[in-house]
Amino acid sequence: IEFVANSNSFVPHFHIPLQSGSDTLLKLMKRRYLRETYDNRVDAIKKIMPNACIGVDVIVGFPGETDALFLPTPVHRLDNQTSGLLLIAKTKTAQIELGKQFKNQTIQKKYCTIVVGEVNNNRVINIPIENKDAETNFEIIKIVKSLKYKELSCLKVSPKTGRTHQIRIHLASIGHPILGDKLYGYSTMLHKGKGLFLSATEITFLHPKTFKTVHIKIDVPNKFNSLLNREKRRWNTYNL
């Protein structure tokens, strides 16, 4: 690696006979190395030559290989700073099937969020994002008075599509940015150490093997109720 990095004659290209990403299969193939060996080699190459090209050989269908993924793999994503539920596939079959459900928009996700201001009514937001259709539904859970923001609204949000930052963009577009959103809100909305007040709390999908409906629901993070109760308490204290 160092020789190529210091050479003016060699092209920074490396071809790695990885064969498999599973240590178990590598042992069955009687290879004298583990996946970590190649992790270290790739890290060393990228550290010295960030723009180097790296190719690999991978064998699939080797006797003893199962449908299980070498590493559990997320089948969707959560926006940066968003907390909550994330679907992880443990097999290739599950990954493909759940991917189809997301593509066909048959998986239902619900989020809880706190936004600045008093939201007047439940509604549907249909505003394109990057020239792509985007739809977000929300309903009001509660509204509390706040000394700092006048009002805060806690909402249950159901995005029909899954554009990047969709919920954050849509709520900001109607004048109710999410608390803690430094990208689409404003600096006075930030609470040190609290992050973004947006959490994925429910998800409904068809089990990728049995095709039975699965519904998973979790409680909202403690910081949500703590903040709402604190703001309500402060308002009542100074408005007696």
To the query of whether residue 79 is one of the catalytic residues in this protein, the response is yes
Q: Is 215 left (phi over 0), alpha (psi -120 to 50) or beta?
A: beta
Euclidean distance between CA atoms 86 and 78, whole angstroms = 7
CB 57 within 8 A of CB 18: yes
Structure tokens given for 9: 């004659």
Beta bridge partners of 124: 137
Report how far residue 110's alpha carbon sits from residue 138's, in angstroms, rounded to the nearest whole number.
9
Question: Are the CB atoms for 113 and 167 separated by under 8 Å?
Answer: yes
Q: Which residues of 93-106 are buried (b: 16+ CB within 10 A; e: fewer)?
A: ebbebbeebeeeee
- CA 179 – CA 187 distance, rounded (Å): 10
Q: Strands (DSSP E) along 59-188, which ranges?
A: 68-74, 83-84, 88-91, 108-116, 123-126, 135-146, 150-159
Euclidean distance between CA atoms 230 and 238, whole angstroms: 12
Q: Which of 23, 43, 79, 181 is catalytic?
A: 79
Ordered alpha helix ranges (H), the chain: 2-6, 23-28, 35-48, 92-103, 166-173, 222-238
Catalytic annotation, residues: 79
